[in-house]
Structure 1
């Protein structure tokens, strides 16, 4: 039997266990590994685990996937995608579902961008390679570069929001590494400029991009790529 005082202590301990800002709610945008307004281009072979959606552009915005349209007309499949591909030109209810998801993506971007009182301001002037990043809200008023491996460390309940006013670029072969039980789903990069992941690089976390997201040859992402313009893949791997 748990007595009232013990229960209160347990609740208190649980309430302080998680470090970092309140989580960003992706709502239905979380149903997609890749979500884009203006299309997803691909230089095969890529490997995507999870669904892909694009709206308001039609299925012509999904290139390089060798699409097979389902008999229902509601989605396509591809040998490169473990999941379904959706576009605004497919049959109902797909267009309406995508409209909601795109709206949810925008709401999540506004939420993450609008967080105030950062724990870290312009850390390392944006050159964060080699750093170990604890849970918290990070803000940069310009771009962020990862020129060497960076470690994000914390527990499975901790959270991170990285607000980037400029571009985010990861150099070739460099990695974002998780430690201590940190989960990619609890990490959000909200980026106003373009996101570029160079050849052979690896990223972790949800990317909320105001513009484009590009993964070059052999790049890998354990994340969701949610872009308000286009997503471009080049022999890349995406796992959500």
Structure 2
């Protein structure tokens, strides 16, 4: 977690009452189209708003041309557009009162000097506006809970559902785990792909999931840690209440 963010409650990322998908499309092969399709496939019951400059109707839902067309801010903004347009989209989200943003595309810290510069601008903007950002460069978040069924992801399938959670630093591995869970009927109901962890790191998600009474155990795939001491402390506290498997 970066110094400027203090995500005391990650509910908007796991059980939002309303979601806007920036870059939504009717084409399932596009990232925004995949997110819209997966949200419907998961059975999301909240307010779902496709955002596309052309407006119209997408998968049976009225689309808005921009976040400025919303009557009120949504709980979660999911961004699935080209990296060079993302900073402007985040600025629009901030200017319209949104605080929780999930950025799926890459093209940031992992993408050389241009990407690192883009992430620095994004980080400064988030600091100035008080935003909490999940991602970028991630596969998204799936949470098939009792009260909320969210699939803010472009993964091709959903896990079977159940009391297990999987937190991964690899989006490709997360998708593979979902596929195996389907085949072997492993009761995974929550999948988090953390990506670049610009704000929300593995430890932040562990804290949130550790408080969820419907999650019985957490599976973790870790490639590296910016603050191993903080992560170890979080894992130690969590292991007192529920199993953490790495």
* Larger strand percent: 1
* Larger helix percent: 2
Query: Which has the higher Rg, Structure 1 or Structure 2?
Result: 1
